[in-house]
Amino acid sequence: MYNPPMFQVITHASEVLTGAGIRAKDGRKVTDDDLGRILDGALVLSVKTVRGKVIPQRIEWVGPTSQLPKRFSKIRATNLKGKRAIIPGLVDCHTHLVFAGDRSEDFAERCAGVSYQEIARKGGGIARTVRATQLASEAELLKSAELRAREMFAFGVRTLEIKSGYGLTLEDELKILRVAAQLKRKLPEMHIHSTFLGAHDFPPGIDRACKESRKDSIRQIVDVMLPEVKRLGLADSCDVFVDDGYFTLREGQHILTRAKQLGFSLKLHADELSNTESTRLAVKMAALSADHLLQVSLSGIRALAKSRKTVAVLLPGTAFYLKADHAPARKLIQAGACVALATDFNPGSSMCASLPAIMTIAALYLQMTRAEIFAAVTYNGAKALGCEDRLGTLEVGNLASFAILPFPKFEELYYRFAWSAGR
Ligand code: NIG
Ligand code: FE
C-alpha cells in the first residue's frame, strides 16, 4: 500500500533566515540580529498530498542541520549542499494582478513627458484597462493572471494579494474576483488574499464632475456591490483609491465604513498622487494598511508610527515608474511604523512582477537596510494582510510558507538586479 509522506526534510541550506526576531518586534526598527540567520540550516515541514502533489502544511522544526532531531533523520532529505538559502515565503501584499490589455501606448506618452493624470483625463489610464478587462472573458483573465502569479512564485512569492478594480460594474468586478478565487484553487502552494477595489475609479459614462453621478456610483458600490461580494465570499478586504481626481476622503470614508460593517478588513490607496490625509483615515479606521504614501504628511507618519495595526505599504516600483519622488521610508521607519514593500503590479503605474526588483529599488532609493527590506517582504507584508499570526517567519507551528532561493545568500535576491526567474 502506498503511504503518502508525512514530512518533508530539507538539509544543508547554505543559510536559513527565520525572521523570528522580526515577529518579536512587530516588524519595527529591526536590525540584522532579528533575521535569525542559521548557517548550514535545516527545515522540517509536515505535508499533505493533494491530487498527487505534495503540499507542505506546517513548520515542524527549524535549526542547524547538525542538530536535526533523530525522529526526522531517517526520512530521505532534500540536501541543498550548501548552495541555496531558505527564507520565509515572500509576501507581495499589493497587486492588481487581474486585468486585460496593456498600456504601452500610455507608457510611450509618459516617456514623452505627458503626466499620468493628463493621460487619464484623455481617456487612457485606468479607463483604458477597464475597457479591455470588461471585454475579456473570465477564462482569458484567468490565463494571464495565472502566468503572472507563477512568475511571482518563481521570484519566491508565496503569499499574494490580488485587487479587483478594473471591472467597475458589478458583473465585471465579480468576474475579476472569481478569477482570484479560481487562482486560489489552482495554486494551493500560494496563499491568495483578495481585495475588492470597486472604488478604483468611476465607471465609464459617469461624469465625475457631477455630484449626483458620483453619489449614484458610490451608492452602487455601498448598497449593491459590497453586500454581493460579501454574500458570495469573494473578497477578504475592501480598498479605495482616495486621491485627487478619484475618490474624495469623505467618499472613501463612507465606502470603508460600510465595508467594515459588513466584516471586510480595510486597505487604502493613500496619499499617492497628492496629499489628502487619507493615511490618517486609514489609521483612524484601523485599516490593515495605508499604501503608497508618496505624499504622506508628518501627521500621517506620526499616526502610522502610533498605530499597532496599520502597516505602511511602500511601492517604490510605482514611484520609479511614474518618475515621482519616493515615499519617506526612513522617516516612517525611524518614527516606529511597520513598513512593508510590494510590487503594486499593474499595467499603468508599475508593470513589474518582480518583488526582488522592488527590493533593489528600496535598497538604493528608500535607503532601507537589509533587515528592513527582509522584514518588509515577509512578516510586515503578512501583517498588511492580517495573517502575520501564521505567515511571515519560519517558526514552528507557522504555515509552511518558504522559498528555496537559487542563491546561497538572501542578499543576492536583490543585490543581483532584475534577475530572471527562469535562469
Ligand atoms: O496603485 N493608484 C491606483 N491604482 C494603481 C494604478 C492603476 C493603473 O494605472 O492602472 C496604483 O498605482
Ligand atoms: Fe495599487
Give the mean pLDDT of the chain.
96
Per-residue pLDDT tens for 138-156? 999 999 999 999 999 999 9
Closest atom of ligand 1 to 292 CA is: 1
Query: Whose grid coordinates read 489610464?
Result: 125
Q: Judge if 369 and 337 occupy the same domain.
A: yes
Residue 374 lies in a domain: yes
Which has the higher per-residue pLDDT, 263 or 5?
263
What residue's CA is closest to ligand 1, atom 3?
Answer: 241
Q: What pLDDT band is residue 67 in, cutting at 50, 70 and 90?
A: very high
Q: Judge if 37 and 132 occupy the same domain.
A: no
pLDDT of residue 422: 66
Closest residue by Cα to residue 195 from 225, 238, 166: 238
pLDDT of residue 336: 98
Decide whether any atom of ligand 1 lies within 6 Å of the 269 Cβ: yes
CB atoms within 10 A of CB 121: 11
Which of 200, 242, 352 for a ligand 1 pocket mutation test, highest count of atoms within 8 Å of Cβ? 200
In the chain, the number of structural domains is 2
Residue 391 lies in a domain: no
Per-residue pLDDT tens for 208-235? 999 999 999 999 999 999 999 999 999 9
Query: Can you give the CATH number for the domain in which 146 is found?
Result: 3.20.20.140
Arithmetic mean of pLDDT, 9-31: 98
Q: Judge if 25 and 143 occupy the same domain.
A: no
Decide whether any atom of ligand 1 lies within 6 Å of the 238 Cβ: no
Per-residue pLDDT tens for 335-364? 999 999 999 999 999 999 999 999 999 999
Residue 422 lies in a domain: no
pLDDT of residue 171: 98
Residue 149 lies in a domain: yes
Decide whether any atom of ligand 1 lies within 6 Å of the 126 Cβ: yes
Q: What pLDDT band is residue 242 in, cutting at 50, 70 and 90?
A: very high
Residue 1 has pLDDT above 70, yes or no: no
pLDDT of residue 287: 98
Decide whether any atom of ligand 1 lies within 6 Å of the 106 Cβ: no
Query: Can you give the CATH number for the domain in which 32 is found?
Result: 2.30.40.10
Our CA dihedral for 97, 290, 235, 395, rounded to 10 degrees, sits at: 90
Per-residue pLDDT tens for 365-404? 999 999 999 999 999 999 999 999 999 999 999 999 999 9
Q: Judge if 38 and 106 occupy the same domain.
A: no
Spacing, Cα 134 to ligand 2 middle (Å): 19
What residue's CA is closest to ligand 1, atom 11?
Answer: 349
What residue's CA is closest to ligand 1, atom 8?
Answer: 348
Q: Judge if 48 and 101 occupy the same domain.
A: no
Residue 172 has pLDDT above 70, yes or no: yes
Spacing, Cα 350 to ligand 2 middle (Å): 9
Give the N- to C-terminal CA distance of the chain in Å, as an integer.
39
pTM score: 0.97
Spacing, Cα 94 to ligand 2 middle (Å): 6
Residue 358: all three cell numbers together: 522592488
Q: What pLDDT band is residue 421 in, cutting at 50, 70 and 90?
A: confident
Range of the domain at 135: 90-383
Residue 254 has pLDDT above 70, yes or no: yes
Residue 235 lies in a domain: yes
Residue 95 lies in a domain: yes
Spacing, Cα 321 to ligand 2 middle (Å): 13
Please return the burial class of 408, using the count of CB atoms within 10 Å of its CB with bins 0-12, 13-18 and 19+.
middle
Residue 423 has pLDDT above 60, yes or no: no
pLDDT of residue 99: 98
Q: Judge if 177 and 217 occupy the same domain.
A: yes
Residue 114 has pLDDT above 60, yes or no: yes
Residue 388 lies in a domain: no
Percent of the chain residues past pLDDT 90, beyond the cut: 94
DSSP codes of every residue in 168-210: -SHHHHHHHHHHHHHHHHH-TTSEEEEEEEEETSPPTT--TT-
Residue 2 has pLDDT above 90, yes or no: no
Arithmetic mean of pLDDT, 307-333: 98
Which of 344, 350, 352, 358 for a ligand 1 pocket mutation test, highest count of atoms within 8 Å of Cβ? 344
Q: Judge if 81 and 128 occupy the same domain.
A: no
Closest atom of ligand 1 to 129 CA is: 10
Residue 264 has pLDDT above 60, yes or no: yes
- Partners of 267 in beta bridges: 239, 289
Q: What pLDDT band is residue 136 in, cutting at 50, 70 and 90?
A: very high
Residue 409 has pLDDT above 60, yes or no: yes
Residue 308 lies in a domain: yes
Which of 92, 93, 96 for a ligand 1 pocket mutation test, highest count of atoms within 8 Å of Cβ? 96
Q: Judge if 241 and 317 occupy the same domain.
A: yes
Q: Judge if 254 and 358 occupy the same domain.
A: yes
Q: Judge if 60 and 99 occupy the same domain.
A: no
Q: Judge if 72 and 126 occupy the same domain.
A: no
Which residues neighbour 364 within 8 Å (Cβ) at sequence distance 6 or greater?
none
From 41-55, 59-73, 270-284, the region with the lowest mean pLDDT: 41-55
Closest atom of ligand 1 to 272 CA is: 2
Q: Judge if 198 and 71 occupy the same domain.
A: no
Arithmetic mean of pLDDT, 269-274: 96
Which of 346, 350, 351 for a ligand 1 pocket mutation test, highest count of atoms within 8 Å of Cβ? 346
